[in-house]
Amino acid sequence: MKRIILLIETSREFGRQLIIGIARYARLHGPWTFYKEPVDLKSSIPKLTNWKPDGIIMRDSLITKELLKLRIPTILAIHDSKYPGNLPVIKTDSRSIAKMASEHLLGKGFRNFAFCGFDDYDWSNGRKLYFCKFIEEAGYNVHVYQQPEGKIRISWEKEQKYVSEWVKFLPKPIGVFACNDDRGQHILEACKMLNLKVPEDVAVIGVDNDPLVCELGDPPLSSIALNVESAGYEAAKLLDQLINKRKTTGKKIMVYPSRVVQRQSTDILAVSDPEVAKAIGYIKNNAKNKILVKDVVNATNVSRRTLEKRFKECIHRTIHEEIKKVRIELISKMLIETDMPISQITSLFSFTDNEHISRFFKKEKGICLREFRRLCKLPNNL
């Protein structure tokens, strides 16, 4: 029986989902036994040595170097970019996360954008960098919150006034991308203090889709869900290989976004053009049907040429692109949230056969239906 040390936080959804993925691999390929220390980790190192572990999956923390001295196969779930280059790591993909956030807010019709993060975390700065890049490519600027010099590590109670002052002077309406759900919750609290309406004045989207944070928000917080369970499963698989003396130096297990879980904090269409709003509403209400561009045009009071022009101005997509986007979002939701067979999804969305829907999905997502479900659902539920 392999002995595995898990030094991963359970106070956040990321850590919990990572552990679930690891546990599922162990149940399928074990038996494994786990050591998880609920108290001070530093004081537990002597115990870990005496326990004679076979492998470790841990956060990159202050005790990393001490644990590395044990010369045990180790995988790091990293916060910081400064880590031993020879170790395998679990890392979030900042680019794809920021891209999904920018597309979500641009698709809502916003023309004002902001980012709020933590200046001392590389993963937050990466999301900021790419979000600014994508928004600027669309022709807009991003208002970035900068933590006061010398006050980066202060508590939220003390930082609240700085964030509130920043939110107060942002142009409205505005779409805000928060680096994670905790930061998203901070923005919601600032809006409440300022008597700003969410999402009418300020729309907010976070990352991690932590239900304990998102559902307790007022209003509930929209968030980008990550395929962390799958990453946990792959990390356990890799650790198993390391324990069995297979070389995998410096390998990265990437955590990608799977979808936007929209809640009330971004449940708005910030489109001033009534015909575009009407057209988007028609697409959403009929997305399961095989609707064409002409059907959308017929639901409005303007010509196709005029409507196409207004679509590009408002949401930076053509009518056809919007139809595909909404259908893909719904199909993705079915794949992730249900165990519905692909044949049934095919019929529900009016495709002729499984091959037809597979081609459509892969062209838009760059990945086949079954692979998408495998990455975003539990491995043993496929």
Counting residues of the chain whose pLDDT is more than 90, the rounded percentage is 53
Which CATH number is 2-92+228-256 given?
3.40.50.2300
Mean pLDDT confidence for 8-15: 87
Question: Strand, coil or helix: what is 32?
Answer: strand
| Of 234-238, 334-338, 371-375, the least confident | 371-375
Q: Where in the chain is the domain with CATH 1.10.10.60?
A: 274-381
Nearest to 88 by CA among 243, 256, 255, 248: 248
Please list the alpha-helical segments (H only) found in the chain: 13-29, 45-51, 64-68, 94-107, 122-137, 156-168, 181-193, 211-214, 228-243, 274-285, 293-298, 304-315, 319-337, 342-348, 354-365, 369-376
* Whether pLDDT at 333 is above 70: yes
* Whether pLDDT at 175 is above 90: yes
Show the tokens assigned to 217: 């928000």
pLDDT digits (tens, 9 = 90+) for 150-162: 777 788 888 999 9
CATH 3.40.50.2300 describes domain 94-226+260-266: yes
Tokens 């496929």 correspond to 382
Mean per-residue pLDDT over the chain, rounded = 87
pLDDT digits (tens, 9 = 90+) for 106-154: 989 899 999 999 998 899 999 999 999 999 999 999 999 999 887 777 8
CATH architecture of 274-381: Orthogonal Bundle (1.10)
pLDDT digits (tens, 9 = 90+) for 51-96: 788 898 988 765 556 667 778 888 888 876 677 777 889 999 999 9
* Whether pLDDT at 361 is above 80: yes
* Whether pLDDT at 247 is above 70: no
pLDDT band at residue 168 under the 50/70/90 scheme: very high
Between CA 187 and CA 179 the distance in angstroms is: 11
Residue 377, pLDDT score = 60
Residue 379, pLDDT score = 43
pLDDT digits (tens, 9 = 90+) for 296-311: 999 999 999 999 999 9
CB environment 17-28: b (16+ within 10 A), e (fewer):
bbbebbbbbbee
Q: Where in the chain is the domain with CATH 3.40.50.2300?
A: 2-92+228-256, 94-226+260-266
* Whether pLDDT at 381 is above 60: no
Question: Strand, coil or helix: what is 337?
Answer: helix
| pTM attached to this predicted model | 0.83
Residue 382, pLDDT score = 31
Residue 378, pLDDT score = 46
